[in-house]
Amino acid sequence: MDSLHTSYFNDKSVEQIIDYLVKKKMTVDELKIRLKFSNAHTIDDEKLIQKLSFAEKRMNEPLELSLKLFYLFFPFGIVNFLSNEDDNYKRFSQLGYIKKIRSYNIISLFGVLLYTIGGLLLYMYFSK
């Protein structure tokens, strides 16, 4: 297993670190193992450790209940077609909220299924 040097990540933003982790299919813990930290932790090492923990927190932060309900009843952000508001999905992907993106997709899919089943039930009820 090859190791990485901490200087590569010192000038990277949290989003760039998350992109690196996603591309390499690594976890933050795996990256910490592969990094060469100096024996006496420097200020740069401490900053990098803080960035890594923040990246891990950001990647694993779940979707809030209010947004879950919103995406259930308005799947895939269909109300954003009506306004110029910035889409949450774009913000989630730009900032590296991986767990939020997965939840967004799953809950929106359930929302589409909810409307499909509801439409079929209404059709069956009124076609009698």
- Tens digit of pLDDT for each residue in 79-102? 666 665 547 788 888 888 888 989
- Rounded to an integer, the average pLDDT of 59-80 is 84
Residues 6+ apart with CB under 8 A from 112: 75, 76
Give me the pLDDT at residue 83, please.
60
Whether 77 has a pLDDT exceeding 90, the answer reads: no
Residue spans of alpha helices (H) in the chain: 7-10, 14-24, 28-34, 43-59, 65-73, 88-95, 98-126
Q: Is 4 left (phi over 0), alpha (psi -120 to 50) or beta?
A: beta
pLDDT tens per residue across span 15-53: 888 888 888 888 888 888 888 765 666 777 788 888 888
Q: To which H or E segment does residue 35 belong?
A: strand 35-36
User: Both tokens of residue 81?
Assistant: 């077609």
Q: How far is CA 127 from CA 32, 113, 115, in A?
A: 62, 21, 18
Predicted pLDDT of residue 85: 52
- pTM (2 decimals)? 0.70
How many CB atoms neighbour CB 11 within 10 A?
A: 8
Q: Taking residues 58-73, report their average pLDDT.
A: 89
Task: For helices 98-126 and 65-73, give the axis angle rounded to 10 degrees.
Answer: 40
pLDDT band of residue 74 (cuts 50, 70, 90) is confident
Question: Is residue 35 within 8 Å of 9, Cβ to Cβ?
Answer: yes
Mean pLDDT along residues 1-17: 77
- Say how far apart CA 62 and CA 19 lie, in whole Å: 18
Best mean pLDDT range from 1-5, 7-11, 60-64, 87-91: 60-64
